[in-house]
Amino acid sequence: MDIQTVLRSLKTYWPDLPKKDEDLVLRAYDFAVQAHKGQIRNNGEPVIQHPLNAAYLLTTVHADPISLAVALLHDVPEDTSVSIEDIEKEFGQEVAVLVSGMIKVSKVRYYGDDQQIENLRRLFLAMASDVRVLFVKLADRLHNMRTLDGVKPHKRSRIARETLEIYAPIADRLGIYQIKCELEDLSFKYIWPADYEDLDKKMSREYGHREKYMAAAKKALADILRKEKIDAEITGRVKHLYSIYKKMKSKGKDLEEIYDKFALRVIVKNIQVCYGALGAIHATWRPMPRRFKDYIAVPKVNGYQSLHTTVFPAPCSELKGQSIRPVEVQIRTLRMQEEAEFGAAVHWLYSERKQSVPLSSAQRAWIEDLARLQKSTASNPELAKELLNDIFQDRIYVLTPMGDVRDLPKGATPVDFAYGLHTDIGHSCKMAKINGKIKPLDYELQNGDQIEILTKSEATPNHYWLTFVKTNNARSKIKAWFKAQNKTARLNLGRKIVDRELERLNLGSFVKLSPIKKKSLLRELPYATTDEVLMAVGDGSLSPDYLLRKIFSRNDLLVKRKRQRIIPRLSRFGKAKLDKIVVAGVGDVLIHLKECCDPQPGDQIIGYITNNNGVSVHRKDCPVVKSITHKERLISVSWEKEQQDVYHAYIKLQAHDRSNLLRDITALLSSLNIGLHGVSSHHQEGKGDVDINLTLNLSDVGLLNNVMKKLEEIEEVYQVQRVKQW
C-alpha cells in the first residue's frame, strides 16, 4: 500500500478535493513515515503499512480527509517520542483531539463482563466525543484483524472476541455493512476455527453449484424487468459466513435450510420503481410465504432501507434443465445501496462539500447515549453487563400507537419502553396493551409489537420491576425513584425484602443474624450501618441476592435453594408435614398458600402472580380467585405427585413455518404440565411448511384430546394428529 493509492481512492468519491485537504493527508503521511522510521510489525512489514492500510479502508466508506490524517497519525504518540502537543502544533486542535480519542480507545482491553466499568467508560467517551473516532478505530481494528496471524496465538482469541462483541456491533449500529461483515467473519475464524473451516468448505462447494443457477436467475430477472420497462442494475450477493453460522445456530437449521445465503440485488432509480419492480417480480415468480420484509417503509435502526423477498423462479428458457430453488431478491435505490455499504459515513462528509445530511435520529440518539455515560461516577461492578446489554446486544424494533419505530435491547419489556418515552410515563405505568391486548408488564416484547402504555396518576414504580427490566435507563430511573422516598419507608421496605428472602430459604430474619455476621457484612460493603444496608436494598441500589452472598457461603445458599419449592406448614388437622407445590414453567419462585381458602393436597389449585410477593396459591373455587380482574396473572400450579405410571403419546404436528413456533409449542406444554420426552422437525422442501414430531409424557389418557385441541389453536398450526410410534 502507498499514499498515492489512498489519494486515488479518496478522489473517486471526492473528485473536487481541495488542495489544502490533499496537502493535509500528504503532510500526515510524511510525518508518520519519519516518526515510524525503522519500526517493524510482528508480521515483518514496516509499521507505516498499518496506518496506510487503515487510511485506505476509510476511503472505502467515503470518510473525510481529516479522518484519513488521523488514521495515518493514530499510532505516532503511542509508539514514538512524538506527543499530542507536537501533533496539535503541526496539524491543529481538531486532528489532535481525534488522535487523542484514538489513544484512549487503544488502551481498553475487553476481557468480558467482569471487567471494571472504567475501561468501558473510557472507550465510550472517546467514541462519543467525535463520531469520526469510531470510523478510524473500525478501520484500525479491521486491518489488525486481517493481519492477526502475526500476533501470538494466546492473544488471538481475546482480540477476536473483543472484535465480535464490541467493534462489529458498533459497525452494525452505524450501518457500515461491509466492515461489520468482515469483522464478524475474521472473528469467527479465530474463535471457532473448526466451525469456520467446515462452513467455508461447504459454502465454497455450494457456491460452485449455485453459480450457474444464480447467473441464469439473474438473466431471467432482467428479462422480467425489461418487459415492464424498468431500468435496473442487477448484481449477486453471497451472505457472509458468520451471519449464516449465527442463523444456523439460533434457528437449529442445516445449511440447506438457509434460504438467503445467495441473493440478487436490484438497484433502481427511485422508491416508486422499487415497489413497481416488486410487483413485476411477484406477478411472475411465486413469493415464499412470510419471507417479505419492507425496510423502506420501516427502516432498521441503523438507517438501512430495502425491500426483501424470497421467490421461486418460474420455469423459463434460462433455467431449463435446472432444479428450481428459492432465491432472495433485494430491491433498493442507489442512495439506499450507498447507505447499506457505507452507513453513517455517508452522512459525515466534510462540511465544505455542502453535500452532507444529518445522521439518522436512531444513530444520533445512540451516540448521545454514549456521551451521557460520562456523567456517571459510581463504579458499580454490575454496570458493565447492563451497558453491554443496553448498547451491544441484539435489538428489537417496536412501534408506538402512532406507528413510530423504537429500538430496544432483545428481551426488553413494556416498562423499558415506557421509561424510553418519558420518566413520568414510566413512573405511572399501570399496564400495557400489546397489539391491542392487555399484557403483563414483564412481557418480553417481540419485533413488530405495537405498544400502548396505560398510566394512572396514583401509580408508582414497583420494586419487582427491577427483576425484569433490561435497559440501564429504566433501571436507573426506578432506583432513583426509590431513593427519593423517605428514609423510613426505604428502611422498612428493605427489611421486608431481606426478611422475605431469608424466610424463603429458612434462614431466619435479618434482626436474628449474629453480630459477627453483621460486622463481617459491613466490612464487605461500603456502608457504615446495617440500616444503611437495608435502605440500599429498599431503594434498589443493592440487590438482596448480592447481600445474601455476602452473608452466607455459596454451598449454604445452593442447599437452601434446592429446597425452596418445598413449603413447610401445618395441615388443617394440626399435623406437621411438607407439601410440595410445582409452578408450571417456573423454577426459582416464592410461593404462599393463602389462608382465605386453605388449600390442601388433593384440592384443585391455581396460582396468582403478585407484584412483589411471588406466587399466591388458592383453591380454584376460592371466591378471591373469581373476583380477580387481572386474569392474565393467573398461572398453572399443582401438587407434586408421587411417582406413577407414565406413558408416551406420539403427536405429529404440521404448520406453516414461522419464528418462535417451537418456543410457543413448548410454552403451551409447560403451561399444561405436560412433559416433553422428545421433539424433532422436518421442513417440507419448497413449501415453507414444517412437520414437528412430539413425544409427550402423559399420566392420564384423558388429557390427550385437550392437549391436541390446544396445539391446534397455536398460530400457523393447521393439523395435529396422533400416530402409533415413530
The residues that are catalytic are 78-79
Instruction: Please tell me what DSSP assigns to residue 677.
Output: E
Report the distance separating Cα 642 and Cα 325, nearest Å: 53
The size of the chain, in residues, is 726
Q: For residues 474 and 525, what is the distance between their CA atoms, to the nearest angstrom?
A: 25
Give residue 195's identity as a one-letter amino acid code.
D
If one counts every other C-beta atom within 10 angstroms of the C-beta of residue 272, the result is 10
Q: Which residues contact 538 (CB under 8 A, 6 or more apart)?
A: 482, 485, 489, 490, 491, 492, 493, 494, 495, 497
Contacts 24+ apart (CB under 8 A), 276-282: 276/228, 276/230, 277/225, 277/228, 277/230, 277/232, 277/331, 278/307, 278/309, 278/331, 280/224, 280/225, 280/227, 280/228, 280/230, 281/221, 281/224, 281/225, 281/309, 281/311, 281/329, 281/331, 282/309, 282/311
CA distance 429 to 415: 7
Distances (CA, A) of 573 to 560, 576, 598, 601: 27, 9, 12, 13
Reported as type and span, the H/E element at residue 37 is none
Measure the CA–CA gap between 600 and 593, rounded to whole angstroms. Answer: 9
CA angle (636 as vertex; 635, 641 as ends), nearest 5 = 150
Give whole-number Cα distances, 590 to 27, 581, 596, 613, in Å. 68, 11, 18, 7
CA-based nearest residue to 264, from 231, 232, 228, 227: 232
